Structure 1
Amino acid sequence: MISKRAAPVSLKADTVLINGNIITVDDDFSIPQAVAVRDGKIVGAGKNAEIKPLAGKGTRTIDLKGATMLPGMNDTHCHISDWALTRPPFMLETRFPTVKSIADIIKMVVDKASKVKPGEWIIGEGWDEGYLKECLADPSRKPSREDLDKVAPDHPVILTEYSGHRSWVNSRALELAGITRDTPDPVGGRIGRTGTGELSGLLYERASMAVREKIPPWSYEQRKTALLNAMAELNTLGITSFTDAGTDREKWACYNDVYNESFREGRWTCRVNMLLMLGGFGKTNLEAISEAYKYVGARYNFGDDWLKVGGAKLVADGIPPLKTALMWKSYLDGTSGLLVTEGNTLEEQEQSLREMIKIVHANRMQIGIHSCGERTIDIITDQYMKCLEADPWDARHYVIHSDFATPQTIRKVAEFGRRTGRSLAFNVQSPIKWTISDFMATVVGPERAAYHWPLRTMLDAGAKVANSSDAPVIYPDWRPGIQGAVLRESKATGKPSGPEQCITVQEAIRTYTINGAWLDHKENTKGSIEPGKQADFCVVDNDLLAIDPHKIVDLKILMTISGGRVVYDAGVL
């Protein structure tokens, strides 16, 4: 008898996958043995005996040999068009463990300076003082412009921290940007200074924009090549969908061009959801958004299953590790963070943020807002709910990052969704928690650090939660994310951080699959292995539901299938 998950026997498949441990992520989390695919979609899932009859003479049969197959993974918040350009040959790779000290980074800069033309920019990305030997030995030691001036005085240098919210620059870069010791801090940013008022070479939040504007843009060909390479690398990680959060005009055009040029060649291998950065990176404000909507008529879900506009991205505050996320309760140093929106006072900045939300909502675009601090999260969720009460539609607005969402706000958001049928969501980054949990105790204290990214509280309240990497902040790999969400143990020391906020493996898988599909307004077409949905699969060498959770990060990706086509094959099956 054919399983209720299988298609009629008369329908022959292009591909059948048999002898597997298939985690469907359907409502019952059922585990069939086999799946059939036709024209890029799933036409059956069930026992081997039920699926094998769907094979015809031209059907490809893939023997999974007991391997575990999941839905293709969905990284719901990342910056792939940026991540694609953050590694050699485009930029210096200053991320741990490639570098372990300031001295290692300086050696890279020396080498690069010897190979480029006089006066050419030296650009890098990824450093984290929590992993730099000199900073660990002396917490007061920070990267400085003097470090860079000694080895590259004639080259402007900018090295962006892993988070993207702080830059390390030299004197030449500051000179080109017109930043002096007398330059005031910009709204939404801070210029690092020494105890004597001299420029330190560290720029926080929007203070980096004056330097970034002086960097020559990447060529179009560089962007296109990097984007296709990035998709291929994502496939090696089992990723078949992602949201590029912060797509400006140039990036949107690049995605469109690469799609038009490469899709028929089979080189476009991921489903891409774009959040538009209306006004451009670092320039999103009320005036820019109002002006953009005079000419942009796209609504949410504009596009197809492979490339679409999901909505708009806004940035509200900074990040907790730099103490720039806006909090109700202060950091250990007594500061409370900031908003990065327009305005001369905090009240004016909040009003500007609320007005931007109203405009985007009225123009029928889903909104994702970078919001880390508890106070910022309270502001945007309150405004989301007010907009949906006054003008209800299926927006699925969400909080990007959600680091310190309070239990009260989480409950309020979940209850609003149940009452109105218009749910909001929290987007989180469990792999970052895995990476920085020890450091956060020095920023907010051990108790608040343990609460950081309260997934258990969110799920118990019935809130929608989707997981992600925020690449290039961290490498776009879902395995540390699932392990981190399940164990909440430090990558560096193994020390637990808020074990009461641990979630189950099943719940963690959902945050990378069906929950992400819901956030994309695509839960009916992807995110689980069920007939009628897209044939997007990730095959790994062990059973996530049975192995020691400490070994999840070591799972090997054996095969990735996107739209029914094998886009990565490790050569094992």
Structure 2
Amino acid sequence: MAVPADLIYTGGWIFTTRSHTPERMAVAVTDGVITAVVPEADTAALTSPHTQVIDLNGGLLVPGFQDAHIHPVSGGVELLQCNLTEATTADEAVAMIAEYAAANPDLEWIQGAGWSMDHFPGGNPTRDLLDAIVPDRPVLLSSRDHHSTWANTKAFQIAGITAATADPADGRIERESDGTPAGALQEGASELFNEVRPQTSDDLAYQGLLAAQAELFSLGVTGWQDALVGTGFGMTDSLVAYERAIEEGTLLAHVVGSQWWERSAGIEQVQQMIERRDDVAARYPAETLDLGTIKMMVDGVAENQTAAMNVPYRDAHGHDTDNSGLSFIDPELLKHYVTTVDAAGFQVHFHALGDRAVRETLDAVEAAHQTNGSNDNRHHLAHLQVVDSADTPRFAQLDAIANIQSLWGCHETQLDELTLPFLPETSEDHHYPFGELHSQGARLAAGSDWPVSSANPIAAIHIAVNRVSPTSTDRPLGPPSQKLDLATSLTAYTAGSAYVNHRDHDTGAIVPGYLANLAVLEPNPFDLDPSEIYTSTVTSTWVRGTQVYARTN
């Protein structure tokens, strides 16, 4: 005899991820677990006076999105600090900083993030813009992609950064003609402020985590992989915030944390990472928090010419320079490190953006396989801005997962003004080659890199399908073969990321026995013209059958 359900979702379409097309079915949930997926006519036997019936209103029920590369604690903190992500020009950014400083006169430092490189000449804002509005307090602001920092004169003075300060090996100080710091710092040079800048307090990090969770629930995201658990980029260790949230019962999402690999250290840090992983595993359920991943940052980003490329960047006149980007970890050491942590049972989450970085990373994964044999660690490479076609088949061959940030796969000012002009003419064809990776058998996962860019999965899926941002009149980025179809992109953001997170046994699909971590999309994106996918929105989000978000308008 059928057991009455606590919840039944009906009146719409279901994307199970086990099929490439939506189905007109109903879904029953009891005790937070999916118990049946049946034709709508068969729901009577599952219904009691206590069953809550959720009308999908013709929309689409999908597994909760899972973000495979995100920084929720720093993103949440930035929502609470000087947040420049809404600025559309340099003038707007400066005005927002001035307004924030005026509203917070007691802050010793003005900190925040979100300025966009394409709003400033050469991608580099200057200190005098900040000095004009905040001359008496240090100002330190991360760029939207978090690979550059903007500082005022006071901040440079407090940190002791002068014309005599050498560039670190993994970064660069932008300078005036006499060598004086001009205002922007790239990559590891930003860490020159670490000894003097106020660290994010544990309480602020906790409040940031809660703000991030609420924001992500509103976008249908029910789980994620935190791409930096540790103290990189000047952040406090987010593990403290997660532990508090678990103990206070406020962490409702399921989280995998990537322990930050300090590239200035070496193999000696592995033992501490093992101890942290095992300690968390002993204290918390794996479905709530897991630290079995290590994050290695292999290179930088293309817009400041620190992404590791196979050929040199060009200058403004189209001539080759002597700069082909930075490999943050020596390739031979990378092989040694990856082989060691793979043997210890860790998954490795790589930042690999340039084609040389991708190749060096795949070489390291291959070395680990040759030494350790096959396993289920599920290593994955994030970003993949440029990938040589010779390397795309290697993903499937090595069981390496392509962790795509498809929101970036379109023409936009930062790409068109700061990146493509400085790369070979044919590089656009290999830019964010998600279609090519998919056609070569690579398993796809998806993420946002929020707060670097929007955490909205639907916006990212729209661009994966169209290779054009919503409402833009730009031509698509690259050839049509780089597009993904809607079902493939949706699957990457659900089942694909669940696989990366080792949660494919109970999340990422709508099938009996899986958790009722679900999102409702209206209208059904499969009913829309591809150019209108972005108009579909999340109307409700559910975690273990409990509604954690409901659209109010």
TM-score norm. by structure 2 comes to 0.91
Matching residue within 360, 363, 367 for 1:379: 360
Alignment partner of 1:277 is 2:271 = no
Q: Distance in 2 between matches of 1:229 and 1:140?
A: 34
AA of the residue aligned to 1:567: V
Name 1:58's counterpart in structure 2. Answer: 50
AA of the residue aligned to 1:77: H
Listed as ranges, the matches of 1:69-84 within 5 Å are: 69-84=61-76
Q: Cα gap change, 1:75/1:430 in structure 2, threshold over 3 Å: closer, same or farther? A: same
User: Post-superposition shift, 1:225?
Assistant: 2.0
Listed as ranges, the matches of 1:129-528 within 5 Å are: 129-130=117-118, 132=119, 135=120, 139-140=121-122, 142-248=124-230, 250-262=237-249, 267-279=250-262, 285-287=265-267, 289-290=269-270, 292-293=272-273, 295-296=275-276, 298=278, 303-333=285-315, 334=321, 335-341=323-329, 349-392=330-373, 393-416=375-398, 423-434=399-410, 435=412, 436-439=414-417, 440-445=419-424, 447-490=426-469, 493-498=473-478, 499-528=480-509
Q: Distance in 2 between matches of 1:297 and 1:561?
A: 28
CA contact (8 A) 1:277 1:284 kept: no
CA contact (8 A) 1:403 1:452 kept: yes
CA contact (8 A) 1:185 1:191 kept: yes
Listed as ranges, the matches of 1:90-129 within 5 Å are: 90-95=80-85, 98-117=86-105, 120-129=108-117
Alignment partner of 1:33 is 2:16 = no
Residue-by-residue CA offset, 1:282-331 (whole Å, 9 max, x unaligned): x6631552452474453998842222224111111101121101111122
AA of the residue aligned to 2:16: T
User: Post-superposition shift, 1:111?
Assistant: 2.7
AA of the residue aligned to 1:318: G
User: Post-superposition shift, 1:394?
Assistant: 0.9
Q: Cα gap change, 1:17/1:248 in structure 2, threshold over 3 Å: closer, same or farther? A: same
User: Post-superposition shift, 1:415?
Assistant: 2.6
| Aligned-residue RMSD, C-alpha | 2.2
User: Post-superposition shift, 1:460?
Assistant: 0.6
Q: How many residues align?
A: 534
Q: Cα gap change, 1:172/1:291 in structure 2, threshold over 3 Å: closer, same or farther? A: farther
Q: Distance in 1 between matches of 2:154 and 2:167?
A: 19
Q: Distance in 2 between matches of 1:359 and 1:176?
A: 40
Q: Distance in 2 between matches of 1:509 and 1:297?
A: 31
Name 1:345's counterpart in structure 2. Answer: none
Q: Distance in 1 between matches of 2:3 and 2:521?
A: 28
Match of 1:513, SS?
Answer: helix
Residue-by-residue CA offset, 1:314-373 (whole Å, 9 max, x unaligned): 1111011211011111222222101223xxxxxxx2233233222321221100111111
Match of 1:367, SS?
Answer: strand
Q: Cα gap change, 1:69/1:290 in structure 2, threshold over 3 Å: closer, same or farther? A: closer
Q: Distance in 2 between matches of 1:397 and 1:158?
A: 34
Residue-by-residue CA offset, 1:438-479 (whole Å, 9 max, x unaligned): 344233255313421101110111011111110010121001
AA of the residue aligned to 2:350: I
Match of 2:51, SS?
Answer: strand
Q: Cα gap change, 1:530/1:516 in structure 2, threshold over 3 Å: closer, same or farther? A: same
User: Post-superposition shift, 1:427?
Assistant: 0.9
CA contact (8 A) 1:456 1:503 kept: yes
AA of the residue aligned to 1:485: A
Match of 2:23, SS?
Answer: coil
CA contact (8 A) 1:299 1:311 kept: no
TM-score norm. by structure 1 comes to 0.88
Q: Distance in 2 between matches of 1:78 and 1:294?
A: 22
Q: Cα gap change, 1:365/1:169 in structure 2, threshold over 3 Å: closer, same or farther? A: same
CA contact (8 A) 1:206 1:340 kept: no
AA of the residue aligned to 1:428: I
User: Post-superposition shift, 1:413?
Assistant: 2.7
CA contact (8 A) 1:299 1:309 kept: no
Listed as ranges, the matches of 1:558-573 within 5 Å are: 558-571=539-552
Q: Distance in 1 between matches of 2:442 and 2:280?
A: 22
Q: Cα gap change, 1:332/1:292 in structure 2, threshold over 3 Å: closer, same or farther? A: same
Moved more, 193-202 or 225-234: 193-202
AA of the residue aligned to 1:24: T
Moved more, 558-567 or 352-361: 352-361
Q: Distance in 1 between matches of 2:114 and 2:193?
A: 17
Match of 1:57, SS?
Answer: coil
Q: Distance in 1 between matches of 2:280 and 2:347?
A: 6
Q: Distance in 1 between matches of 2:149 and 2:171?
A: 12
Q: Cα gap change, 1:457/1:301 in structure 2, threshold over 3 Å: closer, same or farther? A: farther
Q: Distance in 1 between matches of 2:49 and 2:92?
A: 58
AA of the residue aligned to 1:411: P
Long gaps (5+) in structure 1: 1-8, 342-348, 417-422
Q: Distance in 1 between matches of 2:141 and 2:76?
A: 16
Q: Distance in 2 between matches of 1:488 and 1:443?
A: 21
Match of 2:461, SS?
Answer: helix
CA contact (8 A) 2:382 2:405 kept: no
Q: Distance in 2 between matches of 1:192 and 1:340?
A: 19
Q: Cα gap change, 1:430/1:294 in structure 2, threshold over 3 Å: closer, same or farther? A: closer
Q: Cα gap change, 1:482/1:293 in structure 2, threshold over 3 Å: closer, same or farther? A: closer
CA contact (8 A) 1:320 1:443 kept: no
Structure 1 stretches of at least 4 aligned residues deviating more than 6 Å after TM superposition: 299-302
User: Post-superposition shift, 1:210?
Assistant: 1.3
CA contact (8 A) 1:425 1:463 kept: yes
Q: Distance in 2 between matches of 1:447 and 1:493?
A: 22
User: Post-superposition shift, 1:554?
Assistant: 1.8
Q: Distance in 2 between matches of 1:546 and 1:118?
A: 52
Q: Distance in 2 between matches of 1:293 and 1:506?
A: 37
Q: Cα gap change, 1:386/1:351 in structure 2, threshold over 3 Å: closer, same or farther? A: closer
Q: Distance in 1 between matches of 2:13 and 2:72?
A: 31
Q: Cα gap change, 1:288/1:118 in structure 2, threshold over 3 Å: closer, same or farther? A: farther
Match of 2:338, SS?
Answer: helix
Match of 1:56, SS?
Answer: coil
CA contact (8 A) 1:321 1:443 kept: no
